[in-house]
Structure 1
Amino acid sequence: MTAIDYFFVTLSPFSYLAGTRLEEVAERTGATITYKPLDIMALFARTGGTAPKDRHPSRMEYRAQELLRMAKHLDMPLNLKPAHWPTNAAPSSYAIIAAQSAGGGDLGKLTHSILRACWAEEKDIADDGVIKDCLERAGFDPNLADSGLLAGAETYSSNLEEAVAKGVFGAPFYITDDGQRFWGQDRLTFLEAHLAGNA
């Protein structure tokens, strides 16, 4: 069985636009997914990236056009300027880490629910109530939002170190256990082809 390390950011519009397609790919190919939320600003600093606020206007204008094109193509609602962006991504990331450790629910649904809350529902994903609601709707104990904070912080930090060591520089980023790397939600078809032995 193939394993996929999924490096993502709960504030990333491109991670949001991945929807649940990674989970669908995994189901079709028999792959497993390990969810690895990380701090994208720290990743940018370590790998030569630039924070959105520091990018040239032409890059940001193109980013806006591309996001709207992708959202339309995927038939997904998207607010280019969410009411609560940027916000602190750590609490939602810790909740995903705790849920993965606890088991018993749908991690893909939880992850997408948090991303959708930010990019389509105008909710603050740093808010405890929002996180608990996402946990509950995905079949997890909502109290996971209040537990394992130290372990969550340690894993969040180690995810960053692992990402840097494995050549991750953006999000979403997918790495197979044979070392193939795929950057971006628009590379999921290539990931599936690789897992199916067709690429």
Structure 2
Amino acid sequence: MAHIDYYFATISPFTYLAGEGLEAIAEKHGASVTYKPLDIMALFARTGGVPPKDRHPNRIAYRGQELARAAKKAGMDMNMQPAHFPTNMAPSSYAIIAAQNAGGGDMGKLVHSVLTGCWAEEKNVADEDVIRDCLAGAGFDAALADSGLLAGAETYARNLEDAVEAGVFGAPFYVLDDGTLFWGHDKLEDLDLHLSGKL
């Protein structure tokens, strides 16, 4: 059975656009998934990337067009200038880590609800009440927002190190146990084909 390490950031617009496509592919192929939220800004700094606000105006303008096209193509609501972006990724990431450790809920739904909060619902995903609602909505104990902070912080930092070691430089990023890498929401089809033995 294939395994996928899923590296993402809870405020990444392209991770939002991936929706729950990974979960559908994993279910189709019987693959397991480890969710690895990380600090995307720290990842950029470690791997030669540039935070969106510091990019050349041409790149910023194109990114906006690309996001709008991708959202329309996917039929997803998207605010191109969300009220709470950027925001602190750590609290939502810690909660996702705690939920994965606890089990019992829907991880894909949890991750997507956090991202939807940022990009479609004008919510501050660093806010404890927002995080609690996301946890509860995905079938987890809302109190996970308050527990395991130390373990969450340690895992969050380790996820960054694991990402750099694995060759990750952006989000969303899918790393298979055979060493194959896929970067971007638009590479989910390729991931599916790879798992089908066609690519």
Corresponding residue for 1:97?
Answer: 97
Unaligned runs of 5+ in 2: none
Corresponding residue for 1:190?
Answer: 190
- CA-CA distance at 1:53 after TM superposition: 1.1
| Structure 1 position 49 matched with structure 2 position 46 | no
* Post-superposition CA distance 1:37-79 (Å, at most 9, x none): 0001110111000011110000000000000000000000000
Task: Kindly provide the amino acid, as one letter, of the partner of residue 79 in structure 1.
Answer: N
Write the distance in 2 (CA, Å) between the matches of 1:126 and 1:104: 23
Unaligned runs of 5+ in 1: none
Between the two proteins, what is the percent identity of the paired residues? 68
Write the distance in 1 (CA, Å) between the matches of 2:36 and 2:195: 20
* Post-superposition CA distance 1:147-180 (Å, at most 9, x none): 0000000000000000000100000000110000
Corresponding residue for 1:153?
Answer: 153
Corresponding residue for 1:67?
Answer: 67
Corresponding residue for 2:144?
Answer: 144
Corresponding residue for 1:108?
Answer: 108
TM-score, with length taken from structure 1 = 1.00
Alpha-carbon RMSD: 0.4
Write the distance in 2 (CA, Å) between the matches of 1:163 and 1:82: 27
Corresponding residue for 1:117?
Answer: 117
| Structure 1 position 173 matched with structure 2 position 173 | yes
Corresponding residue for 2:10?
Answer: 10
Residue 111 of structure 2: SS of its match in structure 1? helix
Corresponding residue for 1:25?
Answer: 25
Misfit runs of 4+, over 4 Å: none
Write the distance in 2 (CA, Å) between the matches of 1:175 and 1:193: 15
